[in-house]
Amino acid sequence: MAESGVRLTALAHGGGCGCKLSPAVLRELLAGMPAAQAFPDLLVGIETGDDAAVWRLNDEQALVATTDFFMPIVDDPFDFGRIAAANALSDVYAMGGRPILALAILGMPLGKIEPAAVRAILAGGAAICAEAGIPVAGGHSIDAPEPIYGLAVIGLVRPDRVLRNSGAQPGDRLILTKPLGVGVISAALKSDRLEAESARALYATLVDSTTRLNAVGQALAALPQVHALTDVTGFGLLGHALEMCRGSRLGAGIRLAAVPLLDGVADLARIPYRTGAAGRNWGSYGQEVALGPGVADWQRDLLCDPQTSGGLLVAVAPDAAEEALALVRAAGFGRAAVIGELQTGPAGITVLS
């Protein structure tokens, strides 16, 4: 919390990746954008809603460029900076790339936040970038009505190792590297109705998950049997899986029982604690999802729950699924799991309990 005692989350109407525009609104806004075919070195643009842009420099190197920022999901300034930075770096990892530098994006309501709190936000972002082995080499700041922080990140990747969200193949297994539930925990903490001990445990769970770097994406890019990759953020698991399905022109089946959840999240979701973004997400793409019998409303909401700095969703050939899963778990993602598979058919998802 800032020295002034002002809660960062009280200064913002949303928080984390729950701030994102809904998928339906974003598609409407991007409709009619000019095609990028005139730029043959642009390997990845906006065509399938991928995680970052990729520009081929030569036969050995391509540039990965992305930006990501949002309003506070937690009140601790240092943790807010760490979470926002890890989330931004994830876009480069999700392309199979290696970040090389970052630029800070900062908007602060002057007069409402103490300078010490702003410095702590910047320090948190710098700490995560140091963990990733890169500098924060500059940035831009404005006086804004709500606190905003994030990064523009530049990375490198081999052109033949770029992992798009559109390369999945029929039969590929889907691996999720982080458990779901960040949005639910955030909603519960903001309610101020939790016992202190429970709140502390849930906060630690949230911060541990959201500050864990998705650097394993680089190692996954070295496996030729990994065909597609994306990170699960504001659109929820179903939304980002649908982007993979649309881009790959495939359907998907997800086994609800196999989807990992953060500790305590199932109980919170039943209360129910949920975010407005989960409802907006379902309203945007629910018509493309078939829910099997026995899938409760709270479970559906968890699949739509906005994940700030969420895990990677990996599409990998069946004969390499165990190898990829072992690689991910060895990188520190002990709850990673195979949650479903891709299949021929129209783009859409079937969820079975």
- Model confidence pLDDT, tens digit, residues 219-259: 999 999 999 999 999 999 999 999 999 999 999 999 999 99
pLDDT digits (tens, 9 = 90+) for 283-333: 999 999 999 999 999 999 999 999 999 999 999 999 999 999 999 999 999
Number of continuous H segments (helices) and E segments (strands) in the chain: 11, 13
pLDDT at residue 114 greater than cutoff 90: yes
Across the range 29-54, mean pLDDT stands at 85
DSSP 133-167: T--EEEEEEEE-SS-EEEEEEEEEE-GGG---SS-
Q: Pick from 302, 296, 222: which is nearest to 260 by CA?
A: 302
Is residue 309 within 8 Å of residue 90, measured between CB atoms? yes
Asked if residues 231 and 93 have their Cβ atoms less than 8 Å apart, the reply is: yes
Question: Cβ(63)–Cβ(57) under 8 Å?
Answer: yes
Query: Tell me, what's the pLDDT at 3?
Result: 41
- Tokens 């404005």 -> residue: 142
Going by C-alpha positions, the residue among 216, 234, 241, 239 that lies closest to residue 93 is 216
Which whole-number Å values give the CA distances from 316 to 45, 64, 228, 341, in the listed order? 23, 22, 7, 9
Using the predicted structure, report yes or no on whether residue 341 has a pLDDT greater than 80.
yes
Q: What is the mean pLDDT of residues 145-160?
A: 97
What pLDDT is stored for residue 227 in this prediction? 98
| Percent of the chain residues topping a pLDDT of 90 | 85
Q: Are 342 and 248 in contact (CB under 8 A)?
A: yes
Paired with 175 in beta bridges are 314, 338
Least confident segment among 27-31, 66-70, 132-136, 278-282:
27-31
The dihedrals phi and psi of 14, each to the nearest 5 degrees, come to -145, 180
pLDDT reading at 2 higher than 60: no
- According to DSSP, the β-strands at 148-157 and 312-316 are unpaired
Res 37: pLDDT? 65
19 catalytic residue (yes or no): no
In the set 17, 129, 245, 304, the catalytic residue is 17
Query: Domains plus CATH for the chain?
Result: 8-161 (3.30.1330.10), 173-352 (3.90.650.10)
